[in-house]
Chain A
Amino acid sequence: AQSVAQPEDQVNVAEGNPLTVKCTYSVSGNPYLFWYVQYPNRGLQFLLKYITGDNLVKGSYGFEAEFNKSQTSFHLKKPSALVSDSALYFCAVRDLQRDAGNMLTFGGGTRLMVKP
């Protein structure tokens, strides 16, 4: 069965510093990987996705993620954090081997706190 792990419940970063939110995955075939962000009392907003090709994916709001097949990881990164980046971040995977519509398997989420 496919799974996603976000090993950190919370990440604390000072404004202006680089940030990394970690994600590892387990699937039986090739993964399609997604990052979503959730601001307080809001739905999930799409940030970026990896389908194929370049391992470094650039997304919304200056975020990027690096796909590493050997380490089965898809860490989210940003060179310089903003206080407004404080939110809950979810990594998700779509396993091509599963015939369940467009089902996504989500990690438990990581809360990012950026302090001024």
Chain B
Amino acid sequence: NAGVTQTPKFQVLKTGQSMTLQCAQDMNHEYMSWYRQDPGMGLRLIHYSVGAGITDQGEVPNGYNVSRSTTEDFPLRLLSAAPSQTSVYFCASSYRTTSTDTQYFGPGTRLTVL
């Protein structure tokens, strides 16, 4: 299994540009989520999905859209990038949505918005 994969690894955008961060998992996990990591703030949840066709907002959803058309993929879209979205983005997944399940993280995408 490849686990959780993310592309690209690095990206530089100009303010106002749009892009999609890709996330895929091959473990047949129901639950997938997106976090952003900022220095001294740990990871904050952006959006999550409990299964194909179902998504919901996390702590910091503004400026981001998601969709979950398949179990494997959970892309994160930035419609109009802003410098405040400069961050490292992590995708995570777990087998079920129960509280005890361990979440597995991808390697991250480092995004810079100029």
A residues in contact (CB < 8 Å) with B: 4, 9, 32, 34, 36, 41-46, 49, 51, 90, 92, 94, 96, 100-109
Q: Say whether B97 contacts A107, CB under 8 Å.
A: no
A96 to B: closest C-beta gap in Å: 6
Q: With contacts A46-B104, A51-B100, A102-B33 known, what are 20 further pairs, Cβ within 8 A?
A: A9-B40, A42-B107, A43-B4, A43-B90, A43-B105, A43-B106, A44-B43, A44-B105, A45-B105, A49-B100, A90-B42, A92-B42, A94-B99, A100-B48, A101-B50, A101-B56, A103-B33, A103-B58, A105-B42, A106-B44
Given A101-B50, A102-B33, are A109 and B40 also a contact pair (CB < 8 Å)?
yes
Q: Say whether B42 contacts A100, CB under 8 Å.
A: no
Residues of chain B with a CB closer than 8 A to A41's CB: 107-108
B residues in contact (CB < 8 Å) with A: 4, 31, 33, 35, 40-45, 48-50, 56, 58-59, 90, 92, 94, 97-108
Q: Say whether A100 contacts B56, CB under 8 Å.
A: yes
Complex formed: what's the CA distance from A100 to B103 in Å? 14
Q: Say whether B31 contacts A101, CB under 8 Å.
A: yes
